[in-house]
Every structure is written in structure tokens, then in C-alpha cells.
């Protein structure tokens, strides 16, 4: 190899060693980025050498270009390896700084200066719902989160071809996934993560004779996720079964609830004809609001808030209740949705992100339970 080529090779070896030393001395990502830009950036040293290939004698240019490209690959590898090492070290340091000893017993009171705990907005809304409907004579009913096809769809008059039964809308589980106690002769086909709390209405009607007056708050699951939808969310549904129940009872119940929950005594409420497989007739319920400002009870616009209707005679018959003797109404709404509307929250996702700043801002006083005397 000609002497000139030896000299050029030596300068690349020195360049490599110098860059390695600079990378080793970089103790954080800012220093690392300075080395990266100074080496491979638009005005970096290696970039300058590559641009200078045109000044190398023709007989040496091929070997020089090969050496520079080889060096570039080596330096890119060294730079990337150092980045990964620094990011790993930063993560370890953060984990060490934020580590909590979960074996410590809970403190009965927060230490001096610490933030006191609070009630999550979802839990608070469920407390408010229970207080309001409890004053109307409703009790709370509960049921399993994993349901059978019959309880979740069939008994509710939802046909086999309904879109809600499709895999892209509903989370199905392997056969046999239902917990002990959830199965019975009516369990049906594939187990499913319940898509609404309506199966609890069915279980209530099957297990006890009328009259019935229950609300059903709880978790539900659907394959949907964005700023206003979550794969797991909460619903509350209500069911009343008795003799002589009419649409007037349904309307009066919901108007009183909405005005109490939103604390707007003259809140406009509108009922629109709609369709649900499990109610007949069915109605969507709207409340008055201002589309521009988002203020409830003001303006000339309407906002859909929940669905409702008279329980379909076929649903009553499926549960062993004679629809010629008993009538009823049902309704349902999303708990996150009414919580967001009441408090002016624009995004659903922070409900489940466990951000302590958000929780401290929206949490309620744990020593002040919801009650009607507070104007809920």
C-alpha cells in the first residue's frame, strides 16, 4: 500500500479512537447527542471527510472511500450502542428514585405535607347515582363480568345477525372461561365479557318475582378506543317491573334524575322515538345545551344522554314474567359520559392513566359521601 494510503488509514484509526473516547465521556443523552451531531451530522467530521473524497487522488479514492464507509458503519454502531446504554441507565435511575416499598403497612393518616387521598370521579358518580335512585326506591343489583350468550344477547331479544354479536365489536372468551357460579342452564354459547349491564336485569327478573326496581352500575367491555371510548367502561342501567307501569313513569323518573344529577332544576329534557331490540317503544333522551360553549341547560341545542323504553314483552316472557300482567321500563347510560359532562372533562383516557395530578384535581373528599341533602 502506498505511503499516502497508510497515512490516511492512520488518521481514520485516530478519528475512531477519539470518537470512542468522546462517547465514553458522554454521561447523558444531551452529551451523547453532541458527539453524534459532531460526528455524523450535516457538518460533522465524518461527513466532511466523505465530502472531501473528491480531493483525493484518483488512484487512492476507491480505497479511501471504502475505509470511510467502513468507519461510518462502525461509528454508527458505537453511537447507537452508547444511546441504548445511556437510556437504560436513565431508566434504572428513575426506577430506583420512584421505587415504593409495597410491603409497608398503610398509614392511617397522610404524613405532614402529603396530599390526602380522594374518591375517583367514577366512584363518586356511582355514589351519586345510588343516592338519587335510592331516594326513588331503587336498590343496587350486581352480576358477573363474564356472561353467557343467552344473558348478554338472547334473552334481550338481540338476534343472531345483530352487529353487537360480531367479534370485532365484542370480546369473546374460550369455552369454559366462565367462573364458578356464573353458569347455569341458560348460559348458552361462547362466554363473553359483558357488553352492557343488561344481563344483570335478566338475572334479576329470572331470580325474583315482580315487583322489581333496581339500578345496575358496573364495568362493561367493547372493542373501541379513542378520546371518548374505552375498551373497558362503566354503565348504569335501571329496571322497573310492576303492574300498570307507563311511559309517564319512565319520563318522570328520568327527568327527576337528570335535573338532580346535573343540579339544574329547569334542565330541558326531550324524548325522541328510537329503536332497541329489548324495549318497545324505545326512546333516546336528550338534554338542552349550548353547542358553542358546552354549557348544559342553556342554548337551543340538544345533546343525546341516554337510551330508554318500555321493556319488550318478549324479554319479559323470556324471563318467565307474564307481559299481560306486568309491564316495566328500562334505561341505560355511560357513567364516564355523564361524569365528563357534569364536570366539563374533554377526554376519557385520563380516567385510567393513574396520573396523580389529574386524580388530585378531580377527586372528591372521601369523608363527604354523596347524599341528596348536598344537592346532588
What does the alpha-carbon distance between residue 309 and residue 282 come to, in Å, rounded to a whole number? 4
Domains and CATH numbers, the chain: 3-97 (1.20.58), 121-374 (3.30.930.10)
What average pLDDT is seen over the chain?
85
Residue 288 pLDDT exceeds 90? yes
pLDDT, tens only, 245-272? 999 999 999 999 999 999 999 999 999 9
What does the alpha-carbon distance between residue 322 and residue 94 come to, in Å, rounded to a whole number? 64
pLDDT, tens only, 77-104? 999 999 999 999 998 988 888 877 778 7
Which whole number is the average pLDDT over 25-51? 89
Q: What is the pLDDT of residue 166?
A: 57
Residue 284 pLDDT exceeds 80? yes
Q: Are 11 and 69 in contact (CB under 8 A)?
A: no
Instruction: Report whether the peptide linkage leading into residue 211 is cis, meaning its omega lies within 30 degrees of zero.
Output: yes
For residue 28, give the DSSP letter: S
Q: What is the pLDDT of residue 154?
A: 85
Amino acid at each position: 500500500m502506498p505511503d499516502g494510503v497508510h497515512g490516511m488509514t492512520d488518521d481514520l484509526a485516530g478519528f475512531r479512537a477519539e470518537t470512542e473516547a468522546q462517547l465514553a465521556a458522554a454521561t447523558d443523552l444531551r452529551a451523547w447527542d453532541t458527539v453524534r451531531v459532531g460526528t455524523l451530522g450535516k457538518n460533522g467530521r465524518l461527513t466532511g471527510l466523505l465530502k472531501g473524497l473528491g480531493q483525493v487522488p484518483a488512484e487512492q479514492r476507491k480505497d479511501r472511500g471504502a475505509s470511510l464507509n467502513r468507519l461510518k458503519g462502525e461509528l454508527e454502531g458505537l453511537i447507537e450502542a452508547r444511546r441504548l446504554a445511556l437510556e437504560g441507565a436513565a431508566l434504572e435511575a428513575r426506577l430506583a428514585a420512584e421505587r415504593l416499598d409495597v410491603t409497608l403497612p398503610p398509614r392511617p393518616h397522610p404524613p405532614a405535607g402529603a396530599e390526602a387521598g380522594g374518591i375517583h370521579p367514577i366512584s363518586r358518580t356511582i355514589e351519586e347515582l345510588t343516592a338519587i335512585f335510592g331516594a326513588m326506591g331503587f336498590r343496587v343489583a350486581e352480576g358477573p363480568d363474564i356472561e353467557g350468550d343467552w344473558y348478554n344477547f338472547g334473552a334481550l331479544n338481540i338476534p343472531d345477525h345483530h352487529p353487537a354479536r360480531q367479534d370485532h365489536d365484542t370480546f369473546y372468551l374460550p369455552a369454559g372461561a366462565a367462573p364458578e357460579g356464573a353458569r347455569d342452564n341458560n348460559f348458552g354459547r361462547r362466554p363473553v365479557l359483558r357488553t352492557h349491564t343488561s344481563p344483570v336485569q335478566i338475572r334479576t327478573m329470572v331470580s325474583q318475582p315482580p315487583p322489581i326496581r333496581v339500578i345496575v352500575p358496573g364495568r362493561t367491555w367493547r372493542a373501541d378506543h379513542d378520546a371518548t371510548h374505552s375498551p373497558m367502561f362503566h354503565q348504569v342501567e335501571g329496571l322497573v317491573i310492576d303492574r300498570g307501569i307507563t311511559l309517564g313513569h319512565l319520563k318522570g323518573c328520568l327527568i327527576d334524575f337528570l335535573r338532580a344529577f346535573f343540579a339544574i332544576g329547569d334542565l330541558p329534557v326531550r324524548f325522541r322515538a328510537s329503536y332497541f331490540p329489548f324495549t318497545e317503544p324505545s326512546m333516546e333522551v336528550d338534554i338542552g345545551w349550548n353547542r358553542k360553549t358546552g354549557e348544559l341547560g342553556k342554548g337551543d341545542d340538544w345533546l343525546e344522554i341516554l337510551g330508554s323504553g318500555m321493556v319488550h314483552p318478549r324479554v319479559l316472557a323470556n324471563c318467565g314474567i307474564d307481559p299481560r300482567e306486568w309491564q316495566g321500563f328500562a334505561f341505560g347510560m355511560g357513567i364516564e359520559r355523564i361524569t365528563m359532562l357534569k364536570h366539563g372533562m374533554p377526554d376519557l383516557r385520563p380516567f385510567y392513566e393513574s396520573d396523580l395530578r389529574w386524580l388530585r384535581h378531580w377527586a372528591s373528599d372521601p369523608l363527604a359521601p354523596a347524599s341528596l341533602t348536598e344537592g346532588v
